[in-house]
Structure 1
Amino acid sequence: MDQAAQTMIDNLEKNTGKSLDQWVVIVQKEGFEKHGEILKFLKTKHGFSYGFANLVAHKALKSDAGSVSETNELITKQYKGKENFLPIYEKLNSEIKAFGSDVEFAPKNSYVSVRRKKQFAMLIPATKTRYEIGLNLKDQPTQGILEIDTKTNGMCSHKIQLTSESEVTSEVIEWLKMGYENAG
């Protein structure tokens, strides 16, 4: 487990008086099956911030890289029925790894978080016909393929939409590299 995750877990108990394991039990007793249901419950009934609610939700649903025995299980799950997008993921993964040895890929249930010191990108097989790259590029105006992201609840500021591997151009890689450099 990385230091940031451990700090978050420690702060959860410090701020709420309950450990992560205790919160997971509370959430599981409610019988929630969806991430959004857990977020809403923790934020409205217990005053959680998005970050703490997201942490508990992932652990309760075992939907983060630290909760599964093999992170490839999460990748397989993400691309089930969307196998046409695996070449995009593999190409992006290879290009991003070349940015530096400090890049970390953290698969979740429906996307892969790409981090350096902080998250700078999300790789998302959004639908059967649309692949999205979420980027953290604060204060960057939109231009070309770069759009404002309105769907990831502030986890990313911008997005790029793709439909095929051929659209992973040098422009896409340059935007990813800018996100990486800003996260250092």
Structure 2
Amino acid sequence: MSILDQAIETQLKNIEAKTGTSRDTLQTQLLQTGLTKHADLRTHAQSTFELGYGDANALVHFACASSGNFAAEGKSGDAVLDEIYAGPKAVLRSLHEALLTQILEIGEFEIAPKKGYVSLRRKKQFAMVGPATNTRVEVGINHKTLPGTERLVAQPTGGMCTHKIKLTDATEVDDELMGWIRSAYESAG
């Protein structure tokens, strides 16, 4: 099981514990609402099951997976990462996994695979991780109050993230980087 699959499984187990209801029962209850739009189902899950945005979003993705509405198009976490880290970028996958292993220790969040990166979200996206080139992984974080530095590069307003950090080696997954990510995680709360 990939790190991505492990994170999704952990989140679903946490949802079951919070609600006192099995994921299959939650899925059935969601699908019986007659709602068809993802946002409507998420809002329903938030109010009915008293879940936060990220948990409600993950539950809706789980509930709709059988109909092909999952963010990763029904693919396993390994398949998604295989596509993101294909060809010359394959050597960067271990760096991605080393980083995600550290981020998973921070707390609960949703992992939403995209075409070329994975988005990490609580109520809103706090980070994104993916290969920027064949030799580097980029970590984008969202935290408006962090000052930019030579390593923590501030991005123009209106982009997908407020800062970017370039990584070429697992040794760069250090306390400084994890502090920035933890701060962004907390502010996305």
Distance (Å, rounded) in 1 between the aligned partners of 2:120 and 2:40: 18
Give unpaired runs (5+ residues) of structure 2: 1-26, 28-36, 43-67
Alignment of 1:70-89 (within 5 A): 70-81=76-87, 82-89=89-96
Question: Does the aligned pair in 2 maintain the 1:78–1:111 contact within 8 Å?
Answer: yes
Letter of the 2:101 partner, please give it: S
Distance (Å, rounded) in 1 between the aligned partners of 2:186 and 2:150: 20
SS at match of 2:86: coil
Structure 1 partner of 2:181: 176
Deviation per residue, 1:111-146 (Å, 9 max, x gap): 000111211000011110121000001132212410
Residue of 103, 113, 127 corresponding to 1:107: 113
Letter of the 1:138 partner, please give it: K
Distance (Å, rounded) in 1 between the aligned partners of 2:40 and 2:187: 22
Residue of 102, 123, 126 corresponding to 2:129: 123
Question: Does the aligned pair in 2 maintain the 1:134–1:149 contact within 8 Å?
Answer: no
**Deviation beyond 6 Å, 4+ runs, structure 1:** none
Question: Does the aligned pair in 2 maintain the 1:103–1:115 contact within 8 Å?
Answer: yes
Structure 1 residues 155 and 71, CA, compared in 2 at 3 Å: closer, same or farther?
same
Residue of 147, 166, 169 corresponding to 2:171: 166
The alpha carbon displacement at 1:160 in A equals 0.3
Question: Does the aligned pair in 2 maintain the 1:85–1:165 contact within 8 Å?
Answer: no
Structure 1 partner of 2:75: 69
Distance (Å, rounded) in 1 between the aligned partners of 2:40 and 2:126: 18
Aligned length: 130
Which structure has more relative contact order (CA 8 Å, sep 6+)? It is 2
Letter of the 1:173 partner, please give it: M
Alignment of 1:146-157 (within 5 A): 146-150=152-156, 154-157=159-162
Structure 1 partner of 2:144: 138
Percent of matched pairs sharing the same residue: 40
RMSD between aligned alpha carbons? Answer: 2.9
Structure 1 residues 118 and 8, CA, compared in 2 at 3 Å: closer, same or farther?
farther
Q: TM-score, normalised by structure 1?
A: 0.62
SS at match of 1:106: strand
